[in-house]
Chain A
């Protein structure tokens, strides 16, 4: 089986491209299987979504809740990596069943864990060398000029330069994909393309508005992606199933929303000093704080180092109060509501690691991108460079060789489906169910 991850490619956008005849290779692929829209995780960020993809579980079981998380008992954050992933990944389960596996660049696989085969770490790897599980793979990546991720700061300085850079990173990634594909007849081979997500973050608005230079460049990138999909298709024998997956949709950002500013202005969050910029600067008198993206934590006694909210009644009362008032949050410029729905942690997560989840998770209206910055004076902001944001209901899933997928899938359904296709029993605690059943 071969799986291609295309980060942040929306189902609806590919439909548009297919109808316009812009992606002939994908068209041919879709004719040989089923392409459907898929729901992803909340928060809808890559770390969480791909962790759910590879484990078939909700974050309460795999323990990845965002790009940052709190250190237990401290007011400090860290970046969760594969070391914090508390559940076997798809390729680990396949390894145990004796399959030879390859996975490259799927978030969150840094640092690479041991498998029967090769895992090349994801965009969290500090360097290509560190993404490699062995010296041999490191040497191969070096020879291939492999690049872990595009540098987003280039996009902020020079959009044209960034496009060229993105092409380069993409080309090297595809080169590495070809190299490892030719190494041995893998039972399971997965390569992940991050560049689509990066393109969307910096050019989605230009694409939507038909910018004279960047809209064609955007389309161009998709054509190259289509070529690569066509090439992959040409590699496959008839008995190999092709899978294509994305982890969330995209839309244009109307405004970034600084949730901590809102909490501060509403009197829930106090800062210990005037130039607060991190969670560490939260004063003990605070009731709540927010981490990216849209996760709200109460400052709970016994959990936060100097927590003030008593667990039980006071916690429930304050949580209800904050949940209710976030719903009323409005864009100061347009007057639009910004929050679509507020989830309590237990509505979204269950499992052995559910206790570390946020108390509230905001699901935003499209266009309002929740940020966890501390100490900002503004509630909302429109960034000129960073123009695209993730959406939840618009991920995509393609499975080759099947006529139709009977129900609307969730991202946790993919892993059990893959196991089903490869005749390996799925672990009993997976939340998803095979789509073939």
Chain B
């Protein structure tokens, strides 16, 4: 075989399939993807992420294991140093590898950037609020917890802080300044220019504009003019700044309008990233490497934009959160313009990339290469996990889904079953009314769990569950 191809893996953080226009969205959010990718590449119509937030999904993408198997499932977990990550394995095959991350969860502290020759921590210098709350608000929270006068002080400080923060957002709202995806692409161009050998390259990028911010008034914050692109003319910045994070205290109409604005901002962010991806593709073309490069555009998970009463992610395993776009452009192996209807796991990318790079691979992978996917469905069913227990009263969720049914089982005993053909909005829980389907689906989940090879990658700090804690308490070992 000739030289292995270059690989460019672009993750548009939190972008769900349903808001991408080549996936049938009514707004023209992604004209570049529609043309450069979908027309010239293969579009996977039903790609399902293994989880609903950044950390476990990226860890799965890089290790080829389900979250329960790699164990990096809580914000404090890290992939142990020395793991056989995708970057490390590609590096061993002569690839030059670079990671451009705008998301702090993809960084040295989580062990996810290990194995890359170059790591650009773009999350350090961009102005998006990523995963961490600011120190100041953490301080205020501490102060508030103390109670008494400290609490009043904290509240007063908050009253001052909010207008200041809105003012800051306003400045950004008015400016074209862009320290996110645009800067990221600049760095990628520089890196490609500085690469002075003919070795194949692997570039991983996480773009963050489509990720929600911490504060409700800067929930999605694409730069001008994308911020206004899908927003009605009558909506002023001040109305945007008054977005509330919850329905509490808001009228139904006001709440509906809040969601509409949120969707418009999100779509603007997707549209912005689409332009940036198009720009990067043109650059790869202009330096003459595009056709030797596998370009993959996808996301790590989706986002809820009001569906099921939620905005954001990390909570549930409904389609909005797990159905992600997946488009691969590499005409030599993926038929241009093809649409693959089969269910696939997003993390099938792991063995796919290794296979394209000529790594036969002896390490176990939980996933299957997509190179055979056009002809045959690689999975009879797909699985996703919500393994961040703290986010939902310590509830762990597992989801199994085939072409028609989705079954979700939660550790607190709740079961959900949806017929995705009859009820794509997952609003009618059939658990209890379709016992044979339910039994079959839960049996599949059990089979999947028992077939899962035990965790060989161990996160640095083990979780312990409440039951263990309770036992230790019962013995008087823990206060």
| A292–B478 touching, CB < 8 Å | yes
Chain B hits for A113, CB < 8 A: 458
Interface residues of B in 278-336 (CB under 8 A from A): none
Closest to A149 in B: B471
**Secondary structure type dominating chain A contacts:** loop
Chain B hits for A126, CB < 8 A: 464-465, 467-468
Chain B hits for A273, CB < 8 A: 145-147
Interface residue stretch chosen among A130-138, A240-248, A296-304, A352-360: A130-138
| B474–A83 touching, CB < 8 Å | no
Chain B hits for A201, CB < 8 A: 475-476
- Bound Cα distance from A296 to B145, whole angstroms: 25
| A386–B464 touching, CB < 8 Å | no
Q: Shortest beta-carbon distance, B35 to chain A, in Å? A: 47
Closest to A284 in B: B142
Interface residues of A in 6-63 (CB under 8 A from B): 45
| A274–B475 touching, CB < 8 Å | no
B-contact 0/1 string along A114-158, CB 8 Å cutoff: 100000000111110000111100110000000001011101100
- Bound Cα distance from A106 to B464, whole angstroms: 17
Chain A hits for B76, CB < 8 A: 71
A-contact 0/1 string along B439-479, CB 8 Å cutoff: 00000000000111111101111101101111110111111
With A135-B454, A292-B477, A371-B476: A153-B461 Cβ-Cβ less than 8 Å = no
| B460–A83 touching, CB < 8 Å | yes
| B456–A114 touching, CB < 8 Å | yes
| A138–B450 touching, CB < 8 Å | yes
Closest to B467 in A: A126
- Bound Cα distance from A134 to B469, whole angstroms: 24
Q: Shortest beta-carbon distance, A8 to chain B, in Å? A: 11
| A153–B464 touching, CB < 8 Å | no
- Bound Cα distance from A272 to B76, whole angstroms: 25
Chain A hits for B472, CB < 8 A: 67, 79
Chain A hits for B464, CB < 8 A: 78-79, 81, 124, 126
Chain A hits for B147, CB < 8 A: 272-274
Chain B interface category by residue count: 20 to 34
Q: Shortest beta-carbon distance, B68 to chain A, in Å? A: 10
Interface residues of A in 307-325 (CB under 8 A from B): none
Q: Shortest beta-carbon distance, B144 to chain A, in Å? A: 10
- Bound Cα distance from A369 to B475, whole angstroms: 12
Chain A hits for B142, CB < 8 A: 272
Interface residues of A in 181-210 (CB under 8 A from B): 198, 201
Chain B hits for A149, CB < 8 A: 471
- A374 in contact (CB, < 8 A): yes
Closest to A258 in B: B479
**Secondary structure type dominating chain B contacts:** loop
- Bound Cα distance from A273 to B141, whole angstroms: 13
Q: Shortest beta-carbon distance, B387 to chain A, in Å? A: 14
Q: Which of A78, A111, A256, A292 contacts B458 (CB 8 A)?
A: A111
| A78–B461 touching, CB < 8 Å | yes
A-contact 0/1 string along B54-94, CB 8 Å cutoff: 00000000000000000000001000000000000000000
- Bound Cα distance from A151 to B474, whole angstroms: 8
- Bound Cα distance from A374 to B452, whole angstroms: 41
| A371–B479 touching, CB < 8 Å | yes
* Residue of B76, B460, B474 with highest tally of chain A CB at under 10 A: B474
Q: Shortest beta-carbon distance, A224 to chain B, in Å? A: 21
- Bound Cα distance from A152 to B460, whole angstroms: 29
- Bound Cα distance from A151 to B471, whole angstroms: 6
Chain B hits for A386, CB < 8 A: 475-476
| A68–B146 touching, CB < 8 Å | no
- Bound Cα distance from A125 to B469, whole angstroms: 10
Chain B hits for A156, CB < 8 A: 474
Closest to B76 in A: A71
- Bound Cα distance from A272 to B147, whole angstroms: 8
| B476–A369 touching, CB < 8 Å | yes
Closest to B150 in A: A272
Q: Shortest beta-carbon distance, A350 to chain B, in Å? A: 24
- Bound Cα distance from A80 to B441, whole angstroms: 36
| B454–A132 touching, CB < 8 Å | yes
- A419 in contact (CB, < 8 A): no
| A123–B471 touching, CB < 8 Å | yes
- Bound Cα distance from A312 to B114, whole angstroms: 37
Q: Which of B454, B456, B476, B478 contacts A256 (CB 8 A)?
A: B476
| B478–A153 touching, CB < 8 Å | no
With A67-B477, A273-B147, A373-B479: A135-B451 Cβ-Cβ less than 8 Å = yes
- Bound Cα distance from A369 to B479, whole angstroms: 12
| A111–B462 touching, CB < 8 Å | yes
Closest to A280 in B: B145
Chain A hits for B145, CB < 8 A: 272-273, 281
- Bound Cα distance from A201 to B479, whole angstroms: 16
- A166 in contact (CB, < 8 A): no
- Bound Cα distance from A386 to B477, whole angstroms: 11
Chain A hits for B465, CB < 8 A: 126
Closest to A134 in B: B454
Q: Shortest beta-carbon distance, A259 to chain B, in Å? A: 10
- Bound Cα distance from A126 to B465, whole angstroms: 6
| A135–B450 touching, CB < 8 Å | yes
- Bound Cα distance from A126 to B471, whole angstroms: 10
Chain A hits for B450, CB < 8 A: 135, 138-139
Q: Shortest beta-carbon distance, A102 to chain B, in Å? A: 17
| A152–B471 touching, CB < 8 Å | yes
| B479–A374 touching, CB < 8 Å | yes
- A96 in contact (CB, < 8 A): no
With A126-B468, A135-B450, A135-B454: A272-B479 Cβ-Cβ less than 8 Å = no
Binding site for B on A (CB under 8 A): 45, 67-68, 71, 78-79, 81-84, 110-111, 113-114, 123-127, 132-135, 138-139, 149, 151-153, 155-156, 198, 201, 256, 260, 272-274, 281, 283, 292-293, 369, 371-374, 383, 386
Could you list some 13 contacts between A and B, CB below 8 A?
A68-B477, A78-B464, A81-B462, A83-B462, A84-B461, A111-B455, A113-B458, A126-B468, A135-B450, A151-B474, A152-B471, A153-B474, A372-B479
Binding site for A on B (CB under 8 A): 76, 142, 145-147, 450-456, 458-462, 464-465, 467-472, 474-479
Please provide the 6 A-B residue pairs with the shortest distance between their CB atoms, ordered closest to farther. Answer: A152-B474, A373-B479, A81-B462, A83-B462, A126-B465, A67-B477
Given contacts A134-B453, A151-B471, A386-B475, 8 further A-B contacts (CB under 8 A): A67-B477, A79-B469, A83-B460, A83-B461, A127-B467, A155-B474, A260-B479, A292-B478
